[in-house]
């Protein structure tokens, strides 16, 4: 990762953000593919940027291939691309940005991470109050029985993988395109909404899904603070209280350093 020092105006914005925070501040951090960019994962709408050129060799979009309907009709085809994504993620690991969010969770009374990412890095880094709204690519479940297992690397499994118990097809516990969100994730998110929050961080996400954009929209409507950390503009950029067009790790490092040791703040 190339070091990128915040400009004077960005540094001032970071100081203002830090001054808003205290141990009782209720924080929701919403993360997308940009959160894992510093881990070496290219960004593609949250699943690893292997297909930004458009159609795949099948003449279908990646959204079609990674859809619930394609998985039902041709699971081998969907698994071909899930396997490619899994192998692309295999050599990567969580980065300092993931670590900082996990650290912050221990220092604020109510700190929740809502992630679109399926790489599992937030969980690996130690986040506990975590909503993996699209699931986790490394958690597999059998389509026919109750067998489940954790897969740390896709290099060690056959594609498509078969159940250790009944030899039926397995699938990752992820939300494919055109599928409904998981009930447990929705219930967790609902509880978090009921608890409420004071500050929302939108980190590395284009916010194309309504349930990802909604926290920022809610802040805009209710006068609460929202901070966007993203090198590129998004659908919610003009709604955020603060916008920092920098990589996630750089901004989070600055925020945490100034919050945890204010005497050393610039």
Q: Is 139 a catalytic residue?
A: no
Does the pLDDT value for residue 154 go beyond 80?
Answer: yes
Q: State the pLDDT at residue 241.
A: 98
CATH of the domain at 251: 3.40.50.1220
Residue 25 lies in a domain: yes
Domain membership of residue 33 (yes or no) is yes
pLDDT at 45: 45
Answer whether residue 46 shows pLDDT above 90: no
Long-range contacts of 227-232 (CB under 8 A, 24+ apart): 227/17, 227/199, 227/200, 227/201, 227/202, 228/202, 228/203, 229/201, 229/202, 229/203, 229/204, 230/34, 230/202, 230/203, 230/204, 230/205, 230/206, 231/34
Considering the domain boundaries, does residue 50 fall inside one? no
pLDDT at 33 over 70: yes
Residue 130 predicted with pLDDT over 50: yes
| The model's pTM | 0.91
Examine the pLDDT at 133 and tell me if it is beyond 90: yes
Query: Is 100 contained in some domain?
Result: yes
Residue 156 maps to a domain = no
pLDDT confidence of residue 5: 85
Is the predicted pLDDT of residue 51 greater than 60, yes or no?
A: no
239, part of any domain:
yes
pLDDT bin (cut points 50, 70, 90) of residue 87 is: confident
The residue that leads in pLDDT, 188 or 46, is: 188
Domain that holds residue 103: 8-41+92-134+179-264
Residue 109: pLDDT over 50? yes
- With respect to residue 140, please indicate whether it lies within any of the assigned structural domains: no
Which pLDDT score is estimated for 3?
57
Point out the least confidently predicted range of 31-40, 124-133, 182-191. Answer: 31-40
pLDDT band, residue 48 (cuts 50/70/90)? very low
Domain annotation covers residue 172: no
Assigned token pair, 189: 């998110």
State how many domains the chain has. 1
Which of 134, 188, 218, 220 is flagged as catalytic? 134
For residue 224, the model assigns a pLDDT of 96
């Amino acid at each position: 990762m190339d070091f990128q020092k915040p400009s004077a105006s960005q540094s001032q914005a970071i100081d203002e953000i830090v001054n808003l925070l205290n141990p009782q501040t209720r924080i929701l951090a919403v993360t997308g593919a940009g959160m894992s960019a510093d881990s070496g994962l290219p960004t593609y709408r949250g699943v690893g940027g292997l297909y930004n050129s458009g159609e795949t060799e099948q003449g279908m979009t990646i959204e079609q291939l990674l859809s619930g309907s394609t998985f039902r009709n041709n699971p081998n085809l969907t698994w071909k691309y899930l396997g490619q994504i899994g192998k692309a993620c295999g050599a990567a690991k969580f980065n300092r940005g993931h670590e900082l969010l996990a650290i912050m969770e221990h220092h604020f009374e109510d700190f929740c991470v809502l992630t679109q990412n399926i790489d599992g890095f937030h969980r690996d880094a130690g986040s506990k109050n975590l909503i993996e709204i699209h699931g986790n690519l490394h958690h597999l479940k059998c389509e026919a029985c109750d067998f489940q297992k954790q897969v740390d690397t896709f290099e060690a499994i056959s594609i498509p993988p078969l159940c250790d118990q009944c030899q039926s097809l397995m699938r990752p516990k992820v939300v494919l395109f055109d599928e409904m969100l998981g009930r447990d994730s929705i219930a967790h998110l609902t509880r978090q909404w009921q608890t409420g929050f004071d500050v929302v961080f939108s980190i590395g996400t284009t916010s194309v899904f309504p349930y990802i954009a909604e926290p920022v929209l809610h802040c805009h409507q209710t006068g609460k603070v929202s901070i966007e950390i993203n090198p590129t503009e998004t659908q919610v950029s003009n709604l955020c209280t603060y916008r920092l067009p920098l990589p996630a790790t750089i901004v989070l490092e600055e925020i945490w350093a100034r919050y945890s040791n204010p005497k050393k703040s610039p």
